[in-house]
């Protein structure tokens, strides 16, 4: 038996990693893989919506189950509560799909901090020969109330040795959920890792975040790239509220001449976090970090490119929820061709749908706007302390610059 975690956080050669843009490319790739599945399909998603995309995926999963493929679908309890309705759930279960919910105990009149430990990963593998990792839920690109253009997000299609840790972590989480819900299981808690033959030329690693052995792994992978950057850092993330180490790494990179660009969400979804994150703008802008706010549509991406040679695509935002609470999964790629392709996508987004935040204008914004940001920052900071997440490491820098 190979101990889970040995293959994680280790770059391996011989992979094929293909960038997928939005559900428009992601869902057809999933459907194609499902159509030729022979043994098993494993799918993890935070949201499984009853819309056009969700029904297509559900139908394909049922068709695979009917022809004898073992189909296992794991959805988050919170996401399922809001998107997976009874009709779609009956369709999946009635069609032979094995459906589980991660932490389904959601009660609006009861709140405990551990319930924030959600399954935020978006993973899939078919027959252990092809996998998908990214930030795209099973929900239509146009399922964005109030936003006419499609949601912007990314995923990757993976073949090669990187499959081994992906398969292993999906088996392990499934077995844990079955064990905690007192279900008998044919899936071992400590599954063997089966090596996969090289199928490409790219070097990459698969990294998870959980609440045990891999609590800081994704954050550490980011920090290693930021601290060694020489010319350029481009980060696109839907939710941006980093801790002190991450902010210091960005500031230090800008100070040594690295061109640092943050592509952040302009449209407001969660008002408190939106205003709290804007409290950090002053420190970053003063240090020379460029901030672009994407306004054209809803930004759901969680990607980055450093020096056009290192890139990451995954489910992890740069905020306390992703770095400290949820189960997340990212692929990190050391390949100039892949990094250049992703960078080109981000540059296009900046040029066609983003507006820069001018440092001088930001410094001269109204007292009301400044006060709102400070109050929101303080509320989030206190809430994190009450929930006992992050500790001094996350907040040690004190209040943001005004």
What are the catalytic residues? 120, 122, 127, 300, 302, 307
Q: How far is the C-alpha of 159 from the C-alpha of 130, rounded, in Å?
A: 5
The token pair that represents 187 in the structure block: 């899936």
Instruction: Count the neighbouring beta carbons within 10 Å of the beta carbon of residue 402.
Output: 11
100-131 burial, b if ≥16 CB within 10 A, otherwise e?
Answer: bbbbeeeeeeeeeeeebbbbbbbbbbbbbbbb
Question: Widest CA span of the chain, in angstroms?
Answer: 64
> For residues 347 and 34, what is the distance between their CA atoms, to the nearest angstrom?
33
Contact 303, 154 (CB under 8 A): yes
Burial of 85 (0-12, 13-18, 19+ CB in 10 A): middle
| Vertex 143: Cα angle to 169 and 95 (nearest 5) | 55
- Asked if 37 contacts 127 with a C-beta cutoff of 8 angstroms, the reply is yes
Q: Is 137 helix (H, G, I), strand (E, B) or coil?
A: coil
Q: Determine the Cα–Cα distance for residues 72 and 78; give it in Å rounded to an integer.
A: 18
Q: What are the backbone angles phi and psi of residue 130, rounded to the nearest 5°?
A: -145, 140
Q: Which tokens sit at 292?
A: 């672009």
Tokens of 166: 């992906």
Helix axes 244-255 and 217-228, enclosed angle (nearest 10): 10
In sequence order, what are the residues at sequence separation of 6 or more whose Cβ sits closer than 8 angstroms to the Cβ of residue 117? 103, 211, 325, 326, 327
In contact, 280 and 383? CB cutoff 8 Å: no
For residues 274 and 39, give the distance between their C-alpha atoms in angstroms, rounded to a whole number. Answer: 44
Residue 67 Cα to chain centre, angstroms:
32
**Distance of alpha carbon 254 from alpha carbon 230, whole angstroms:** 10
Contact 100, 73 (CB under 8 A): yes
Alpha carbons within 13 A on the beta-carbon side of 44: 26
């Amino acid at each position: 038996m190979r101990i889970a975690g040995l293959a994680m956080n280790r770059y391996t050669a011989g992979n094929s990693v293909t960038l997928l843009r939005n559900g428009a490319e992601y869902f057809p790739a999933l459907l194609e893989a499902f159509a030729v599945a022979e043994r098993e399909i494993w799918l993890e998603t935070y949201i499984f919506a009853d819309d056009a995309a969700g029904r297509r995926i559900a139908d394909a999963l049922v068709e695979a189950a009917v022809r004898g493929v073992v189909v296992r679908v794991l959805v988050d309890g919170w996401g399922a509560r809001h998107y997976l309705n009874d009709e779609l759930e009956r369709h999946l279960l009635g069609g032979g799909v094995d459906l589980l919910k991660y932490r389904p105990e959601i009660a609006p009149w009861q709140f405990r901090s551990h319930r924030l430990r959600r399954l935020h990963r978006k993973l899939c593998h078919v027959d252990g020969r092809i996998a998908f990792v990214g930030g795209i839920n099973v929900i239509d690109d146009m399922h964005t109330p109030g936003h006419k253009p499609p949601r912007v997000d990314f995923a990757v299609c993976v073949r090669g040795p990187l499959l081994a840790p992906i398969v292993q972590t999906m088996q392990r989480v499934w077995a844990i959920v079955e064990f905690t819900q007192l279900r008998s299981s044919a899936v071992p808690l400590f599954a063997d890792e089966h090596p996969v033959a090289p199928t490409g030329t790219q070097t990459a690693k698969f990294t998870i975040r959980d609440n045990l052995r891999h609590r800081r792994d994704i954050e550490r992978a980011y920090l290693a790239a930021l601290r060694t950057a020489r010319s350029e850092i481009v980060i696109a993330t839907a939710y941006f509220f980093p801790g002190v180490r991450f902010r210091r790494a960005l500031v230090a990179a800008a100070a040594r001449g690295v061109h640092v660009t943050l592509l952040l969400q302009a449209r407001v979804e969660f008002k408190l976090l939106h205003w709290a994150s804007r409290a950090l703008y002053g420190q970053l802008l003063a240090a020379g970090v460029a901030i672009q706010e994407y306004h054209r549509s809803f930004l759901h991406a969680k990607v980055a490119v450093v020096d056009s040679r290192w890139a990451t695509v995954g489910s992890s935002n740069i905020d306390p929820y992703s770095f400290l609470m949820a189960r997340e999964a990212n692929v990190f790629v050391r390949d100039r061709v892949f990094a250049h392709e992703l960078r080109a996508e981000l540059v296009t987004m900046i040029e066609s749908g983003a507006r820069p935040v001018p440092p001088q204008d930001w410094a001269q914004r109204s007292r009301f706007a400044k006060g709102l940001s400070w109050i929101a920052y303080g509320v989030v900071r206190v809430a994190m302390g009450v929930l006992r997440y992050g500790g001094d490491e996350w907040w040690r820098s004190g209040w943001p610059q005004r």
